[in-house]
Amino acid sequence: MSAEKGNTYATVWTEEIVLPIVKRVELLLKDGIPIYEEIEETKVKQKIGVTPVLWIGQALAEIDDYNLYREIWSYWKKKFSEETEVFQTIKKVDGILETRLVIDGLEARNPVMRIFLLKAAHGLNENLPGSIDNPLTLSVNWLGNHAETKSDEEE
């Protein structure tokens, strides 16, 4: 059942409420999520390590004060796109998480991750010309030196 038109349910997400939450998420990225082990004799939980945060849903689930979920992050990004501190913190967190995933995927020498990154971040389209039948010319500019590779047809 959807809410009636004109409801104010979402007004709980004000800048005053959201900013401390996104700051807590940022801290979780820095500190990691603690891992505890219960000592049988005393039933006391002892911290035995931390696990890094790799995606936003994981971080939001760790904040017990609210029932947060991944989609709320996207909602906040749209709602607070004009509020500099909230939006900048969200973008910083997104950048850190993206970098962690990229490094993790590349360190694992995962070809699927590399193809995904080329598609998502650099616009690779496998349906465009550039196959064996239709050679592609590639220009590379590395540290100011311009080098151009030539297709088989040009040689």
Range of the domain at 18: 10-126
Residue 62's CB is within 10 A of a number of other CB atoms, namely 14
Nearest Cα neighbor of 86 from 15, 30, 10 is 15
- Give domain status of residue 71, yes or no: yes
> What are the φ and ψ backbone dihedral angles of 143, each rounded to 5 degrees?
50, 40
pLDDT tens digits, 70-106: 899 999 999 999 877 999 999 999 999 988 888 887 8
**pLDDT, position 116:** 81
Note the pLDDT tens digit of each residue in 2-37.
Answer: 667 766 666 689 999 999 999 999 999 999 998 989
Q: Decide if 142 is inside a domain.
A: no
Beta strands 44-51 and 139-142 are unpaired
> Does the pTM exceed 0.75?
no
Residue 136, domain member (yes or no): no
- Decide if 2 is inside a domain: no
Q: Is residue 97 part of a domain?
A: yes
How many structural domains compose the chain? Answer: 1
Side chain identity at residue 101, one-letter code? L
**Does 68 map to a domain?**
yes
